[in-house]
Amino acid sequence: MDNIGSWLWLDLEETQSTNDAVDRWCQECGQPCVVTAKRQTAGRGRRGRSWISQEGNLFMSFAFPAPVENIGEMAVLSGLAVLKTVRCFCPNANLKVKWPNDVLADGGKISGILFERATNGFWIMGIGINVRSNPLKSVAGYRTMSLNALGAKAERIEVLHQFVMQWDELMLLYQHTGFEVLRRQWLDNAYNLGKTIVVRQGTAEICGIFAGLDDDGALLLDTDGKIKKILAGDVMLNNN
């Protein structure tokens, strides 16, 4: 066990899913903590998908206390923190956040984030960042990207350190100034803002113009002049 920033940190050789490992650990230690692993044998993604976990990539799960209703804001904060992390290693890449919190680099998905509720009521934030390699396509059929493919020779632990710094900085900003600054920063880097997008919710699809983010992080979709508030779903990538 170690410390990283304000977090307790455990780096495992192998585990099924770092989200499960951190769930077990935060019940024991009762403090904000993070688990990383070199290998994940059953990494999982959003909407029941699996997360292809190639060795050399970063798999990290954070557990921390936060009110249930703040999930939309935490999703925005986490996507921004990943975007800023990737930007440090690849300053020339075209980086975008895709609602709720995917990060795209030169049009391919480089990171995914899965929020879950821990057994002790903490939030678990599980993040995968493609560092050394990327699958040909994601499980959802998206194009993918990695830091290495963008020309950055980073190692997973360096990326972890950078992420923790970015997260801690944004969290301080959020605590001192509120959500609005983050919302604006997120929108400045948003994929397809003002354009027609398709949001998938289970088997249903809703089409509309991406009008912005609400003050709780929900997506605002303009469907024939009527603004719909979307709390959960996937914005489809239109280049896969």
Q: Which residue from 10, 23, 34, 43 is in contact with ligand BTN, where contact means CB under 6 A?
A: 43
Indicate whether 126 belongs to the interface with ligand BTN (CB under 6 A): yes
Q: Which residue from 26, 33, 34, 46 is in contact with ligand BTN, where contact means CB under 6 A?
A: 46
Q: Which residues contact residue 32 at a Cβ distance below 8 angstroms, ignoring those fewer than 6 apart?
A: 6, 7, 8, 26, 62, 63, 64, 65, 122
110 vs 209, beta carbon nearer ligand BTN: 110
| 62 vs 33: CA distance, rounded Å | 6
Indicate whether 233 belongs to the interface with ligand BTN (CB under 6 A): no
**Total site size for ligand BTN, rule CB under 6 A:** 19
| 92 vs 69: CA distance, rounded Å | 36
109 vs 209, beta carbon nearer ligand BTN: 109
DSSP letter assigned to residue 47: G
- 197's enclosing H/E stretch is strand 196-201
Restricting to residues 60-99, name those near ligand BTN by CB under 6 A: 61
Binding mask 9-28 for ligand BTN (x = CB under 6 A): --------xxx---------
| Residue 106: other Cβ atoms inside 10 A | 15
CB of 18 to ligand BTN, least distance (A): 4
Q: Are 22 and 15 in contact (CB under 8 A)?
A: no
**Residues in the site for ligand BTN, rule: CB under 6 A?**
17-19, 40, 43-46, 49, 51, 59, 61, 102, 112-114, 126-128
